[in-house]
Amino acid sequence: MTDAETLAERVRTGELRLHELEEHADHDTAAAARRVLLEAETDADLETVGDYAFDAEVADSAIENMIGAAQVPMGVAGPVTVDGGAANGQYRLPLATSEGALLASVNRGLSVIESAGGASARVTKNGMTRAPVFRVEGVVQAAETVEWVGENLEALREAAESTTSHGELLDVEPYVVGDSVFLRFAYDTKDAMGMNMATIATGEACSVVEEHTPASLVALSGNLCSDKKPAAINAVEGRGRSVTADVVIPGEVVEERLHTTADAIAEANTRKNLIGSAKAGSLGFNAHAANVVGAAFLATGQDEAQVVEGANAITTMDARPSEDENGSSDLYASVSLASLEVGTVGGGTKLPTQSEALDVLGLRGGGDPAGSNADALAEVIAVGALAGELSLLAALASRHLASAHADLGR
């Protein structure tokens, strides 16, 4: 028997548990043993799942009970020129997806943006948040706790920042609901998305709060952070990076390349992304920002679940008088993503294909100054989302959506 089969047999006999195999063999053999067990128990043939191109050990901090790797097609869109606060120059955006027509759409949008001289983008707010919830006796003690926190931010900062050499505590915002006190800690986590960093730092600060106030910690995450759930607080206050990208497309480019007019696109945006979203009670007033955020996240090793917040985007489109008095209206377009949570160090960005994708962008690792690489990544993704909005809205205005997916997505 192979090492993997021998290891699998030790699980079958009950000697070993499935999640402890790496204590008894190298990571690749442990993964192979799990595939042996799965193939014996199911009709699955896991040959391709097991045909991953990296040492399983490099995924040790990213996965447990590893059996192999999911392989998602990855494409590239662009190039596009970005005039950002941190991003500067031409970028090609790697995107991983299984949705046919998405790459073509973003590629068309970036091509149109490039024809207009590129897009501008700025990170306008930055702060990764963690909001623990405490129990108190009643509102009197809640007020006492809030008052202490407001007067002792330095003590909380000292405790939190003792756990990290990069993170900086920016603010602690209190919220009281009856005998519950929520403290929303916000950090500058530099080039890390910062959820582990913020969670570890906040845990340390919570000990200080418990020591000096009548509050007792109930949960380190009180859901007012708000991580990976649709929440107005993220759409309004932001989480991670709040980033906006915009562009003015000349009228003739709209007509030649997008097969419609600025007025038609602007109307589609108003009735669909603004009025339709409002009527739907949506937190995102956009067409498919989540498509670009999700595909960029998969490609570059971001936390895929945070697409939830990344979809908190508002798209605006306005027809503007053309500089050429006889020309058709130009199109002003913007996308504002309130909570884009990205990093270029840490988490999944360390994995092989993900770090290679960051190399395509020239944004792997820590930036100089610290935080500038993550800022640039946020700006480039925002331009990608802008491209996706332009192309999809044009396809809707020109009635090409269904045919595009019939041609490319089937």
Ligand X SMILES: CC(C)(COP(=O)([O-])OP(=O)([O-])OC[C@H]1O[C@@H](n2cnc3c(N)ncnc32)[C@H](O)[C@@H]1OP(=O)([O-])[O-])[C@@H](O)C(=O)NCCC(=O)NCCSC(=O)C[C@@](C)(O)CC(=O)[O-]
Ligand Y SMILES: NC(=O)C1=CN([C@@H]2O[C@H](COP(=O)(O)OP(=O)(O)OC[C@H]3O[C@@H](n4cnc5c(N)ncnc54)[C@H](OP(=O)(O)O)[C@@H]3O)[C@@H](O)[C@H]2O)C=CC1
Write the single-letter amino acid at 129: T
Catalytic residue among 9, 39, 99, 179: 99
End-to-end CA distance of the chain: 43
> Is residue 102 a contact residue for ligand X (CB under 6 A)?
yes
The span from the CA of 74 to the CA of 3, in Å, is 33
Residue 196 CA to chain centroid, in angstroms? 15
> Is residue 333 a contact residue for ligand X (CB under 6 A)?
no
Catalytic residue among 22, 303, 379, 389: 303
Q: Which residues lie below 8 Å from residue 215, measured CB to CB, with a gap of 6+? A: 134, 135, 136, 141, 142, 145, 181, 209
DSSP string of 168-181, one letter each residue? EEEEEEEEEETTEE
> Is residue 269 a contact residue for ligand X (CB under 6 A)?
no
Q: Does the active-site annotation cover 303? A: yes
Give 229 or 271: the residue with its C-beta nearer to ligand Y: 229
> Is residue 195 a contact residue for ligand Y (CB under 6 A)?
yes
Give 186 or 317: the residue with its C-beta nearer to ligand Y: 186
* One of 22, 28, 227, 379 touching ligand Y (CB under 6 A): 227
Are 313 and 387 contacting, i.e. CB atoms less than 8 angstroms apart?
no
> Is residue 18 a contact residue for ligand Y (CB under 6 A)?
no
Q: Does the active-site annotation cover 5? A: no
Give 97 or 244: the residue with its C-beta nearer to ligand X: 97
Closest CA to 351 of 303, 391, 392, 397: 303
Stretches 246-254, 286-294, 332-340, 368-376: which one binds ligand X (CB under 6 A)?
A: 286-294
Burial class (CB in 10 A: 0-12, 13-18, 19+), 207: exposed
Give 251 or 348: the residue with its C-beta nearer to ligand Y: 348
Q: How far is the CB of 231 from ligand Y (least distance, A)?
A: 14
Q: Does the active-site annotation cover 99? A: yes
**Binder of residue 46, out of ligand Y, ligand X, none (CB less than 5 to 8 A by kind):** none
Angle at 343 between CA 83 and CA 124, to 5 degrees: 45
Give 123 or 193: the residue with its C-beta nearer to ligand Y: 193
Closest CA to 91 of 394, 391, 382, 388: 382
> Is residue 197 a contact residue for ligand Y (CB under 6 A)?
yes
Residue 209, strand partner residues = none
> Is residue 196 a contact residue for ligand X (CB under 6 A)?
no
**List of residues contacting ligand Y (CB under 6 A):** 164-167, 189-197, 199, 227, 303, 343, 345-348, 366, 370
The residues of the shown chain that bind ligand X, judged by CB under 6 A, are: 99, 101-105, 107-108, 111, 287-288, 291, 391-392, 395, 400-401, 404, 408
Q: Report the catalytic residues.
A: 99, 303, 405
